[in-house]
Chain A
Amino acid sequence: MTSLFLLFAPLPGRAATEGGDEATRLPPAGEFATVPIGYLKQEVKRFIPLSRLNVEPEDLGIAGAEIALKDNNTTGRFTKQQFTLEVERVPAGGDAVQALETLVESGHHFVLVDAPAETLLRLSDAVKGKDVLLFNIRAPDVSLRQEDCRANVLHTAPDRAMLADALAQYLVWKKWPRWFVVKGVFPEDLAYLDALRRAAKRFGGTIVEEREYKETPGARRSDSGQLQIQRQMPVFTQGAPSYDVVVVADEKEVFGPYLPYRTWDPRPVAGTAGLTAMSWHPAHEQWGATQMQNRFQRFAKRFMLPLDYQAWVAVRAVGESASRAGSDFAPINAYLRGDEFGLAAFKGQKVTFRTWDGQLRQPIIVAGPDLPVSMSPQEGFLHERAEVDTLGIDEPESKCKFQ
């Protein structure tokens, strides 16, 4: 399809009304202002997931940032702003701080960080006091929004508290309040379990038992593996007190995906396997998401995943603020955190950043493998200001003191 003009080419005709029109807020004719955005990915050695469907794509997150960049630049044609994206990949064990400094020295004041919490904190401390804003697009640790919160970090990744709250609200709404929790042994599993316990207390769920899964399931994907799992899982889940749903805390996917259809009692599975809370699902089509999914799939040749969405939101948040506040760091940074900011992000309401901890305030999708089942907050969980603040750490319970 031929378009009338090329990307970045100056608009034919009058692109700006002369003399700085307030309504359009366009810069003087001629030049494009540049807004460079960095993407820092710290490679991490990960477990091979049980399902090959869940292997992380090589460009996970990055493709989301890239398509948001295209969206920003389509808008930038009209506001005379050009957004660029520089990706720094740091190998496992490599020096992420050095990589960040390289990005900052080359003018990248907005940097998406795709890294574990400890790396994020080191990066945040390294650029403290500089004109740098980091977006945490990956780490779900509640501590990053609480005692370890940082003034120069905004979080587009939902934390475990938001995810557990979103799931818990749905389970309680569904009248499945009795949960048989099956937990793994890793610190991440225990962190998610903490969030589940908090959610149970907040929304009226009851954990009837917590059972630890210690052994590594045998043959995994080998020929005889399935048969073995089929015998193992029913026995493992036998003898629980009366319950409505199995809730799994197994973030590294060691055993969780083996539970659906294999529990001793015929019960649904939720948590980190089965019915799961997430920021984005590849089959989410509400509120204009169809267009986003189509655009992403044409571009990346794969489905759009939560980390892609979290990166998309970060880059779009910069773009949206720049289209209204100009191309410099300070006004964009202020706009992002201010009352005026509101991003249309396919969730049926604008997404914004919480002032008390920098967390993106967003509805959370509760989904099975093929389709979203619901979107939380659920009806009936009331909040004095915004229902969506029933998800995650609310202002009165925040321990965040920005530093």
Chain B
Amino acid sequence: MASSAERAAIVVAATMGVIFAAHPAAAYTVYISNEKGNSITVLDSVTLEVKETIPVGQRPRGIILTNDDKYLLICASDEDAVQMLDVTSRELVGDLPSGPDPELLDLHPSGSPVYIANEDDNLLTVIDLADKKVVAEVEVGVEPEGVGASPDGKTVVVTSETTNMAHFIDTGSYEITDNVLVGSRPRFAEFTADGSRLWVTSEVAGVVTVIDAKTRKIIKTIGFAIPGVQPEHIQPVGVRITKDGAKAFVALGPANRVAVIDAKTLDVEEYLLVGQRVWQLAFTPDEALLFVTNGNSNDVSVIDVPNLKVVKSIPVGTAPWGVTVSQH
């Protein structure tokens, strides 16, 4: 008789076989920022192996690829800069004038400008990627962190951790049009692909707030309860929603779980056990896999999205934080 570990291995192998059979050509590159390792780990989405580790600036956290997949923009928080990594040559080719302590960033859907939250300075800095110049600085609440651009590019939302608000900013006038109070320490903002809703995670309150993007009213505040986990350990951080708007995945920090939520009914469906202190997550473009950074166990968990199974954990650098996946 097979032991439970062996059975698990068989299940994993079978599951992965299904994935690869279904997506034979889908080889994407996955980038992980290692907050304490001061490096970027590069993974292959098919072999699920580390291809390379690239040293970068100090305390890299939020990362994003330019729309052409050529450059990785890295918030090097302790360098007070957003560094540009040429992913072909693997070399840092310059800094964006991001302002102090950049933490998270997002791109306008057209690829530029880039919106950067300056946690230490209560600012959103807007930078044009073509000439690398600051287009605008928008004064927001205390400790801005999460940044999310709407799919139509007309709105960018910034969450401020001490002010506890989601600030809606008009990308034409750079004026704040609405402020929505959410739970304590909002960390991340993500629009649904159709632009109808905004999801905001609140780390200290332990909730996710879903906001109607048009009326700017709260639709629902989603709470979490996991048997055997103290409520104060449930600290939502990253959130990703499938393009069809069916499922949302929320990283729950030291609860060591990713919550799976029906993004239409807004009910929590299940909790997937991952590594320790789970921060951020990113889909492959085909949404077959979800990569999840575990800050305290120095690894990345790989979730099989259709089957909602954690299929692998990959050791990376020290304190993995941000994650992004190439589009091609």
Contact = CB atoms under 8 A, between A and B. Distances in A.
Interface of A: 1-5, 11-15, 17, 21-26, 71, 74-75, 78-79, 288, 291, 294-295, 316, 320, 323-324, 342-344, 348-350, 386-388
B299 interface: no
A13 B139 CA distance: 14
Contact of A4 (B119, B136, B141, B178): B136
B142 A78 contact: no
Contacts of B122: 74
A291 B180 CA distance: 23
Contacts of B173: 12-13
A21 B216 CA distance: 9
Contacts of A3: 123, 137, 139
Counting chain B residues whose Cβ lies within 8 A of the other chain, the interface size class is 35 or more
B174 interface: yes
A37 B225 CA distance: 37
B205 A342 contact: yes
Given A288-B143, A295-B120, A349 B204 contact: yes
A23 B174 contact: no
Closest 10 CB pairs of A and B: A13-B175, A349-B232, A344-B185, A75-B163, A344-B204, A78-B179, A23-B217, A344-B184, A3-B139, A350-B204
Contacts of B303: none
Judged by DSSP, the binding face of A is: loop
A178 B217 CA distance: 57
Contacts of A23: 180-181, 211, 215-218
A284 to B, nearest CB: 16
Judged by DSSP, the binding face of B is: loop
Nearest to B232: A349
B138 interface: yes
Interface string B113-131: 0000001111100000000
19 contacts: A3-B123, A3-B137, A4-B138, A4-B139, A4-B174, A4-B175, A11-B175, A13-B175, A23-B217, A24-B180, A71-B163, A75-B165, A78-B163, A291-B119, A342-B184, A343-B184, A344-B164, A344-B204, A350-B204
A295 to B, nearest CB: 7
Given A24-B216, A349-B232, 11 more contacts: A4-B139, A11-B175, A17-B216, A75-B142, A75-B165, A78-B141, A291-B143, A323-B181, A342-B184, A348-B232, A348-B235
B181 A25 contact: yes
A351 B160 CA distance: 18
A378 to B, nearest CB: 13
Contacts of A22: 217-218
A13 B232 contact: no
Contacts of A15: 176, 179
A75 B137 contact: no
A71 B217 contact: no
Contacts of B216: 17, 21, 23-24
Nearest to B209: A23
B99 interface: yes
Contacts of A78: 141, 163, 165, 167, 176, 179
